[in-house]
Amino acid sequence: MSNRILSVLTLSAALFLPNAHAAEEGVLDIYIVRHGQTHWNLEKKLQGSTDNALNETGTKQAKDLGDKLAGVKFDQIYSSGLKRAKDTAAAFAGSTKVTPLPELNERSFGKFEGIYEDDRSAVEFAEFGKRVTVLDDSLDGGESLQSQANRVKTAVATIRQQHKQGNIAIVAHGGVNPLVLSALLDIPVAEAVSRIKQGNDEVYLVRVREGQAPSVWKQVVRGTLEQL
């Protein structure tokens, strides 16, 4: 990874959102949104491709997100095909078209799907931690990280081809959005998955301008002031 990209990532906790209300000519702003909380998120269960709905907190997070992004005029919003992402997208879409893309769905975690991400499933979770970033490991009946990364990269390329400027949003998952950033910033897949951890109510903004390295901002709210 180049020093140019590293310098961009160093600035990724900058104040949010720069020039959010009006799109600049020749500039594409990509808002990367993680879905709101589900019961499995709350219970610290590994969710994967299981199609859970938002819980009460997640519904509120989605509504609050709509308030925060109310000043952004989106040209189009893309979501994964899973309900928790589609419902989060609907909360701030207004009249903007939402296009579900199954290529943005979360990965199936095979035999590990539904285990607890703490001591309640200590043995299984330890094994999962060792295997989840191995590119060709399909986790005993799930999907490999390389397969997921390939389809997410294809989705990002398709989106980029259709939008050269303006404002768009991608609403997906904790395991998908690092891969979106991997594709946009040319970060190795395993590194992106192991190092980028997006909360349920966090938003990233990637600004793409012809001839320049992408710029990255992260929404900082009261609960994450330490990240300033």
**Is residue 210 among the annotated active site residues?**
no
Predicted local distance difference test score (pLDDT) of residue 105:
98
Is 0.85 surpassed by the pTM of this model? yes
Report pLDDT for 17: 54
Three-state SS string over 4-71 comes to: HHHHHHHCCCCCCCCCCCCCCCCEEEEEEEECCCEHHHHCCECCCCCCCCECHHHHHHHHHHHHHCCC
Which of the residues 35, 103, 113, 143 is marked catalytic?
35
106 is catalytic: yes
Sign of the torsion angle spanned by Cα atoms 5, 225, 69, 89: positive
Task: Please tell me the CATH code under which domain 3-39+54-105+151-227 is placed.
Answer: 3.40.50.1240
Q: List Cβ neighbours of 70 (8 Å cut-off, separation of 6 or more).
A: 92
Give me the tens of pLDDT residue by residue for the chain, a chain 228 residues long.
443 443 333 333 333 455 554 557 789 999 999 999 999 999 999 999 999 999 999 999 999 998 889 889 999 999 999 999 999 999 999 999 999 999 999 999 999 999 999 999 999 999 999 999 999 999 999 999 999 999 999 999 999 999 999 999 999 999 999 999 999 999 999 999 999 999 887 899 999 998 888 999 988 777 777 777
Catalytic residue among 25, 56, 106, 143: 106
Q: Are strands 27-34 and 203-209 parallel, antiparallel or unpaired?
A: antiparallel
Q: Domain map of the chain by residue range?
A: 3-39+54-105+151-227
Q: What is the pLDDT of residue 224?
A: 75
Q: Which two three-digit tokens encode residue 35?
A: 């879905």
Start-to-end C-alpha separation, the chain: 24
